[in-house]
């Protein structure tokens, strides 16, 4: 499994590098772009899709480890009994695996809803190099807080924006947990 994921990752890097190199050489020959500019960060709509892809790729590994650990915690006797009763792999997954890991799925969903206002600061600030042309696609609360603190020196605005972000995330976690507790009290966080 590890070598397969390694193969996929290397393949994606080679493919995206070849595409970027081809686009960059074409734009340079036309005189449209500086030689050191990256085409992924020149247009906001391309960068938005690239950012979503990077965020999904970054979270897949963490989610896979958590869900794999939850699946390994299921007793093998459940699967053996289902196999004896004639259940196939899909039936075992739907009748045993999904219900057994449902508390993990709900818990991770509640926690991710709390981080809905957080952006990937490293991606949005370092990749775009704080380009004002890309603010419509990359300006999130995290970059706003950093800019208001570093560029403007406005500690009050930076603190208020960070506090607002944390407060709204906290309220969203409480509200989501309340909804989950109404539907199934066993799956709620508290």
> Quick check: pTM over 0.85?
no
Residues 90 and 154 in one domain: yes
Cβ atoms 41, 134 nearer than 8 A: yes
Residues 86 and 157 in one domain: yes
Question: Does a structural domain hold residue 107?
Answer: yes
Number of domains in the chain: 2
Over range 150-166, report the average pLDDT: 88
Confidence at 9, pLDDT banded by 50, 70, 90: low
Q: How many CB atoms lie within 10 A of CB 119?
A: 19
76 against 146, higher pLDDT: 76
Question: Does a structural domain hold residue 34?
Answer: yes
Residues 120 and 33 in one domain: no
Residues 102 and 128 in one domain: yes
Question: Does a structural domain hold residue 4?
Answer: no
Q: Output the six-digit token pair for 58.
A: 């970054």
Highest-confidence segment of 20-24, 58-62, 154-158, 168-172: 168-172
Question: Does a structural domain hold residue 2?
Answer: no
pLDDT tens digit sequence for 23-51: 445 444 544 444 455 555 566 667 777 77
CATH number at residue 54: 1.10.3720.10
Give the separation between CA 129 and CA 53, rounded to whole angstroms.
19
pLDDT tens digit sequence for 161-190: 889 999 999 999 999 999 999 999 998 888
The residue range of the domain holding 37 is 10-42
């Amino acid at each position: 499994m590890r070598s397969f994921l390694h193969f996929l990752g290397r393949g994606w890097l080679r493919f995206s590098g070849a595409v970027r190199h081809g686009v960059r050489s074409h734009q340079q020959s036309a005189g449209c772009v500086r030689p050191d500019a990256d085409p992924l960060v020149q247009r906001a709509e391309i960068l938005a899709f690239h950012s979503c892809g990077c965020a999904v790729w970054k979270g897949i590994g963490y989610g896979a480890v958590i869900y794999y650990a939850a699946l390994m915690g299921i007793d093998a006797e459940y699967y053996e009994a289902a196999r004896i009763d004639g259940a196939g792999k899909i039936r075992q997954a739907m009748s045993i695996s999904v219900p057994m890991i449902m508390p993990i799925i709900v818990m991770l969903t509640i926690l991710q809803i709390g981080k809905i206002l957080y952006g990937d600061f490293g991606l949005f600030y370092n990749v775009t190099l704080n380009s004002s042309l890309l603010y419509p696609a990359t300006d999130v609360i995290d970059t706003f807080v950093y800019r208001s603190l570093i560029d403007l020196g406005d500690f009050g605005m930076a603190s208020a924006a960070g506090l607002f972000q944390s407060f709204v995330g906290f309220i969203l976690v409480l509200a989501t947990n309340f909804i989950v507790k109404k539907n199934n009290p066993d799956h709620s966080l508290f």
